[in-house]
Amino acid sequence: MHLLFSLSLLLALLHVTSCLLIGAFNIKQFGDKKSSNTSLIDVISTYKYIVSEPLGRSTYQEQYLFLYTEQTVSVVKNFTYDDKMDAFSREPFVVILTSTECLTYPKALNWSLVSFLSCSPAVKDFVLIPQHTSPDSAVKEVNSLFDVVTDVRARWNTNNILLMGDFNAGCSYVSGADWQQIRLFTDKSFHWLIKDDVDTTDCGHS
């Protein structure tokens, strides 16, 4: 268990109340102290999981980890994005899932946990694309997620795609003027679930 989580930086958690809930968390390091917390491990061990290979350009690497409840979703396919242009410090690990629950896209939310609360049979299969950007290249990496979406659309013929992150798209990393260089922002076919005025940053500790 320790080896599995030791490099994991992003956690995508799926579970159900009356409908499907999806959240993304940057858990930083998962080392000896956290892995020895039996209460935490007892909770984690109740979920199924899929995890990426270690990703990164140097000896410092991270992993993407998805936890999910087998009763409500299952993994159909996955792949690591082929980053031919070397746009990402850590390539996105893309997963397509199928759900036995209903899933619809809500209006913009005013909190950082992305949740799907409205029930409808509109969406069954959907794609999750997590990305933890490097703060120094956040503008380039967030913009390049447009290319990942294009790849997924061609590969799996779907528009049911959710981008999740720690995008580092705030503080001094992405300024107001920078957004005009980011296709996810300028292309109005993309729907941002978290409103622009919501502070999801920790700039005081950056």
Summarize pLDDT for 71-86 with one digit per residue, the tens. Answer: 888 999 999 999 999 9
Q: Which residues are catalytic?
A: 62, 132
Widest distance between CA atoms in the chain: 47
- Specify if 50 maps to a domain: no
- Specify if 23 maps to a domain: no
- Specify if 21 maps to a domain: no
**From CA 85, how far away is CA 82, in angstroms rounded?**
9
- Which CATH number belongs to the domain containing residue 90 in this structure? 3.60.10.10
pLDDT for residue 49 is more than 70: yes
End-to-end CA gap in the chain: 30
The whole-number average pLDDT for the span 150-155 is: 96
- Specify if 33 maps to a domain: no
The whole domain housing 99 covers 69-106+118-186
- Specify if 101 maps to a domain: yes
- Specify if 92 maps to a domain: yes
Q: pLDDT tens digit string along 84-108?
A: 999 999 999 999 998 876 555 444 4
- What is the reported pTM? 0.80
- Specify if 27 maps to a domain: no
The whole-number average pLDDT for the span 32-60 is: 88
**Into how many domains does the chain fold?**
1
Q: Is the dihedral of CA 1, 61, 54, 179 positive or negative?
A: positive
